[in-house]
């Protein structure tokens, strides 16, 4: 993988992580979310994301950041978009 070169999901996902893949259509919903855009206006969150992106040990840094309420809010927002909660009692009985 060339630094700064094009990459694909296959470059970073191992076979046993395949179930963690998010379909492209769902990822595109992230760009359409006003809530997520609002969160990304926060310079502190942007710095956290840049730090993760540039870190060698992303896993331990993510564990640390999951203690940060702002980062947790960002992660929860992303998850709600790509994995919406099941709607209970859609139609009243």
Q: What is the pLDDT of residue 16?
A: 57
Residue from 49, 39, 25, 24 nearest 77 by CA: 39
pLDDT at 64: 94
Please indicate whether residue 28 or residue 87 has the higher confidence score (pLDDT).
28
The band of 1, judged by pLDDT with boundaries at 50, 70 and 90, is very low
- Answering whether pTM is above 0.75, one says no
Question: 27: which residues sit within 8 A by CB, 6+ positions away?
Answer: 82
- 6-13, long-range: CB < 8 A, 24+ apart: none
Closest to 35 in 3D by CA, of 79, 87, 86 = 79
Alpha helices in the chain (DSSP H): 9-12, 24-32, 34-40, 43-54, 58-65, 69-82
Query: pLDDT at position 21, please?
Result: 74
- What does the pLDDT read at residue 15? 58
Half-sphere exposure of 51 (CA within 13 A, CB side): 13
- At 23-69, the pLDDT tens digits run 888 888 999 999 999 999 999 999 999 999 999 999 999 999 999 99
């Amino acid at each position: 993988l060339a630094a700064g070169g094009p990459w694909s999901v296959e470059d970073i996902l191992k076979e046993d992580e395949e179930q963690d893949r998010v379909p492209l259509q769902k990822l595109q919903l992230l760009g359409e979310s006003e809530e997520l855009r609002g969160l990304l206006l926060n310079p502190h969150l942007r710095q956290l994301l840049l730090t993760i992106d540039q870190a060698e040990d992303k896993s331990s840094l993510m564990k640390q950041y999951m203690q940060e309420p702002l980062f947790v809010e960002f992660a929860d927002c992303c998850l709600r978009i790509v994995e919406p909660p099941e709607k209970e009692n859609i139609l009243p009985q």
